[in-house]
Amino acid sequence: MAAVLRVSLGNFLFFTIFALIMIGVKDQNDRRDSWHHGGWITKIIVWSLLVILMFFLPNAVFNMYAMLSKFGSGLFLLVQVIILLDFTHSWNDAWVEKDEQKWYIALLSVSVVCYLATFAFSGLLFFWFNPSGNDCGLNVFFIVMTMILAFGFAIVALHPKVNGSLFPASVISMYCAYLCYTGLSSEPRDYECNGLHKHSKAVSTGTLIMGMITTVLSVVYSAVRAGSSTTFLSPPSSPKAGEKKPLLESDNLDEVEKNKQNEARPVSYSYTFFHLIFALASMYSAMLLTGWTSLSDSEDLIDVGWTSVWVRMCTEWVTAGLYVWSLVAPLILSDREFS
C-alpha cells in the first residue's frame, strides 16, 4: 500500500509540474509547446527520479497525500462524468447528422438495449444486496433511487421543451446502475446486506479492474478529444473543427504561405488542463488500489469500505445532476448560448 502511494505521488508531482509549466501557452511558437510534444527521454528521466525520490520521504507525507487524494479523486470522477456526457452527446449528434432512417433506428435500438440492461441489472442488485431476512433499507434506497433516476432521465430528455434525446439518457442510466453496483459491492464483507460478501475478494478485484478500465478510457478519450480541434478542453482562441475560410485568389497563394509560416498558430487545447487530468487520474488510481483509506481492514481486499461506498453513490447523484442540468440549462439560462 505504501509503495502504491509513493509511486502515485511521483506521478502526481510529475504531471502537476507540467501543468504549472504549461500555464499561459496560447500558440505553437511558444517554446513550451515543444516541451509538451517532445523531449520524451528527458521526461522519462525526470519521472523516474521523482518516483525514486518518493521512496526516501517519511510516511507522514503519504498519509497527508492519501487524505488529499480523496478530494482529488472526487474531482477526477467529476471530470469522468463530464467526459461521459461529452461522449454520449457527440455520438448522438454524429448519428443524427447523417439524417438517415437507419441511423435513427440504430439510435433507438441502442437506447432500448441500454435501458433493458439498466433495469435488468437493477433487478440483480435487489437479489444480491437485499437478502431475505435482513433489514437492508439503505441498499434498497440506493437501488430504487437509481431506477427512479433512469425513469426521470427519459422523461426529461423526451419533454417537448427540452432539446434532448433518449440515447444519452439510456447511456447515463446504465452508467448510474454501474456506479450503484460498484458502491454496493464495496460494502464491508461483514455487512449482512452485502450478499456478495462470500466472494468479496473476487468482487473487489473485479471492481478494481473496471475502475482502472474506466480510468484509462477517460484519460485516453480526453487526450483524443483534446488533440482534436473541437470545443472540448479548447481555449477560446483555438481553431474549431469545421471552420471554413473563403477561397483565396491564386496570385496571393505564395504570399499567404509565407505569412502562415511566420504566423503564430494557436494551440488546439489547454495543455495545463490536459496534464491536470493525468494528475487527478494518478490520485484516483491510488485510491482504487488502497481502498480509499490508509487503514484498510484487510490487505487482501481492494476498494472496500464505507468511504468507497459513499464516494460511488455521491458520484452517481452528481452524474444525474449534471446530466439533467445539461438538458434544462438552456431553458433556465435562455440568454446564454449553449453548443
Q: How far is CA 323 from the centre of its chain?
A: 14
Give pLDDT tens digits for 27-71: 777 788 888 888 889 999 999 999 999 998 888 888 888 888 878
8 Å CB contact between 80 and 214 = yes
**Residue 227 in this model has a pLDDT that exceeds 70:** no
- State the DSSP string of 54-112: HTTS-HHHHHHHHHHHHHHHHHHHHHHHHHHHHHHHHHHHHHHHT--HHHHHHHHHHHH
Mean pLDDT of the chain: 77
> Can you state the angle between helices 166-185 and 59-97, rounded to 10 degrees?
150
pLDDT at 50: 93
Residues 107-160 have pLDDT tens digits of 889 999 999 999 999 988 888 888 777 788 899 999 999 999 999 999 998 888
pLDDT at site 205: 60
Structure confidence at residue 248 as a pLDDT band (50, 70, 90): very low
**C-alpha R_g of the chain:** 23
Q: Which residues contact 59 (CB under 8 A, 6 or more apart)?
A: 2
Residue 233 vs residue 26, higher pLDDT: 26
- Residue-wise pLDDT tens digits, 10-19: 999 999 999 8
pLDDT of 119 reads: 92
Confidence at residue 17, expressed as pLDDT on a 0 to 100 scale: 93
Q: Which residues neighbour 230 within 8 Å (Cβ) at sequence distance 6 or greater?
A: 240, 241
Asked if residue 277 lies in contact with residue 181, where contact means CB atoms within 8 angstroms, the answer is no
Indicate whether 247 pLDDT > 50: no
Residues whose CB is less than 8 angstroms from the CB of residue 38 and which lie 6 or more positions away in sequence, other chains included: none
Please give the Cα distance from 162 to 328 (Å, whole number).
7
Res 228: pLDDT: 46
Query: In the numeric block, which cell numbers belong to residue 49?
Result: 527520479
Model confidence pLDDT, tens digit, residues 162-197: 877 888 899 999 989 988 988 888 787 777 888 776
Q: pLDDT value at position 182?
A: 81
Encode burial over 253-274: b for 16+ CB neighbours within 10 A, e otherwise: eeeeeeeeeeeeebbbbbbbbb
Q: Residue 298 has what pLDDT? A: 43
Q: What is the pLDDT of residue 295?
A: 41
Task: State the pLDDT at residue 117.
Answer: 92
Taking only the tens place, the pLDDT of each residue in 279-309 is 888 888 887 777 665 544 444 445 567 777 8
pTM of the model: 0.71
Instruction: Return the pLDDT at 89.
Output: 82
Q: Which of 18-22, 81-85, 93-97, 315-319 bottoms out in mean pLDDT, i.e. has the lowest?
A: 81-85
d(CA 190, CA 16): 39
